[in-house]
Amino acid sequence: MADISTQKAILGVQEDVEIPGAGNSRITSEKESAVKGFNFMDDRLLNKKWIDGSNLSDITMFFRVLALCHTGIPIEDQTDKLKYEAESPEEVAFLMAAQEFGFKFCRRTQSMMVLKELDPSSGKEVEREYKLLNLLEFSSSRKRMSVIVSNEDGQIFLLCKGADSIIFDRLAENGRSYQLATSSHLLKYAEDGLRTLAFAYRKVEVAEYDCWNSIFTKAKTTIGPEREELLERASEMIEKDLILLGAAAVEDKLQKGVPECIDKLSQAGLKIWLLTGDKKETAINVGFACSLLRHDMEQFHLGLSKEAESDNQLKGMKEDILRQIESFYQVRCEESVMNKPFALVVDGKALEIALRSDVKDKFLQLAVSCASVICCRVSPKQKALITRSVKEYTGRTTLAIGDGANDVGMIQEADIGVGISGMEGMQAVMASDFSLPQFRFLERLLIVHGHWCYKRISKMILYFVYKNIALGLTLFYY
């Protein structure tokens, strides 16, 4: 069964939401939207027409997951209209989308969430309360978040959203009805430079929940270094046998002036690496959009072969990565006389092998010889490890710039840390040496103020030497 996609934008974030149930479409209105942040137009879904879909229960559950699986808080503005505050702009976008399709998130307490839902049977808006039993928070290592809720009938559901690779690994055999169609659309969205998320759910029996909740509660109340491991084990026990509902694609638009800034810094002789948690296709598209990749560059794609990945043996994976690195480096050396620029693109699994001690030096030898490097599906720990490894291997000064909590380790590891203040919070700014409101100001910070600082320090050193010579010779002669 194919997917329908909706498109909207809010707070600088644009999203495509795939809903199981009809032919694929991506229809965007170029006119100003009547609802701020919502620019989707499709007569098959708007104005309550989605209730005529053939798989109504799945569509209803998809919107319900959008409206319940989040950490957002509804706030009334001066005009008594609801607006949302959440940990990320993506969650706000999902809440806006759910609201436009008849699933309005109204209130939240520590133990309850209230929705105004469109009842498909009557076509009227109905207020429903969901008891919030547990929240399994998102983290960069988990790459997913879940909520466990109980409806008014006492039925318990686990609602989950996260990276498609993580969700797909946790699907039940009877929960893969939309996997093929969703995978193809996710690939297309990634190639368009959009960040992707998958949505799924499962019904949990009361006895199973009671047993699991005792384990989860014990893990939460544990004090000590093993607490995180116990929580992760408990989460793994319940986040399984999921039923796939659909996917969302979010465009994190580049700020103004980013391509021009990166181009100027490259011309100044800086080598720029992009470390991102996005999929490879998304990262490559962003690389072209921000001038990190150019069409005249030859790209090396470092990733595990299907044979090595299927064997899942560390020795075989190491040999596979080393073979690719040596092959790429040989090509790089042979064509270096032509002054042809090269770019290296590394996916997450290959990077994990490449950063091992017996492979790292050869990987870095290849990477530092390339004009641009893009590392995909990178965790915060890997970002910090890459920064430290490059600093130690080259002996050069490193600068890290980021805007989110997952960039803090990288910013602290670099010689110079730059934080961008914005919608992702202030963690990166608090951990940095310099704070910027936008990425494009990095050009002036380095090329203008960096040059002035270099000249001032040079003059100060010369003056310091002159002062010491003058004072020393005065004492010597007199």
Q: Binding-site residues for ATP, please?
A: 91, 138, 161, 195, 276-278, 377, 383, 406-407
Tokens 């699991």 sit at which residue?
212
- How far apart, in Å, are the Cα atoms of 36 and each of 25, 79, 94, 98, 129? 22, 14, 14, 14, 27
**CA separation for the pair 97, 7 (Å, rounded):** 9
CA-based nearest residue to 73, from 58, 83, 81 = 83
Long-range contacts of 53-62 (CB under 8 A, 24+ apart): 53/21, 53/22, 54/21, 55/1, 55/20, 55/21, 56/120, 58/20, 58/21, 58/178, 58/245, 59/19, 59/20, 59/21, 60/120, 61/201, 61/245, 62/19, 62/20, 62/199, 62/245, 62/246
Decide: 19 and 59 in contact? Cβ < 8 Å.
Answer: yes
- How far apart, in Å, are the Cα atoms of 458 and each of 154, 450, 471? 73, 12, 20
Can you spell out the DSSP letters for 313-356? -HHHHHHHHHHHHHHHHHHHHHTGGGT--EEEEE-HHHHHHHTS
Angle, helix 357-368 to helix 380-394, in steps of 10 degrees? 70
Q: What stretches of 2-125 show up as alpha helix (H) in DSSP?
A: 56-68, 89-100
Please provide the distance, in angstroms rounded to a whole number, between the alpha carbons at the two ends of the chain: 97
Q: Find residue 204's DSSP bridge partners.
A: 156
**CA separation for the pair 379, 387 (Å, rounded):** 13
**CA separation for the pair 21, 5 (Å, rounded):** 10
**CA separation for the pair 334, 355 (Å, rounded):** 25
* Residue positions forming the annotated binding site for Mg(2+): 403, 407
- The residues, ordered by sequence, that sit 6+ positions from 108 with a Cβ below 8 Å of its Cβ are 72, 73, 74, 114, 132
* Residue positions forming the annotated binding site: 91, 138, 161, 195, 276-278, 377, 383, 403, 406-407
**CA separation for the pair 11, 453 (Å, rounded):** 37
**CA separation for the pair 148, 134 (Å, rounded):** 5
Q: Find residue 416's DSSP bridge partners.
A: 399
**CA separation for the pair 327, 127 (Å, rounded):** 62
Tokens describing residue 372: 């641009």
Long-range contacts of 109-117 (CB under 8 A, 24+ apart): 113/68, 113/149, 115/64, 115/67, 115/68, 117/64
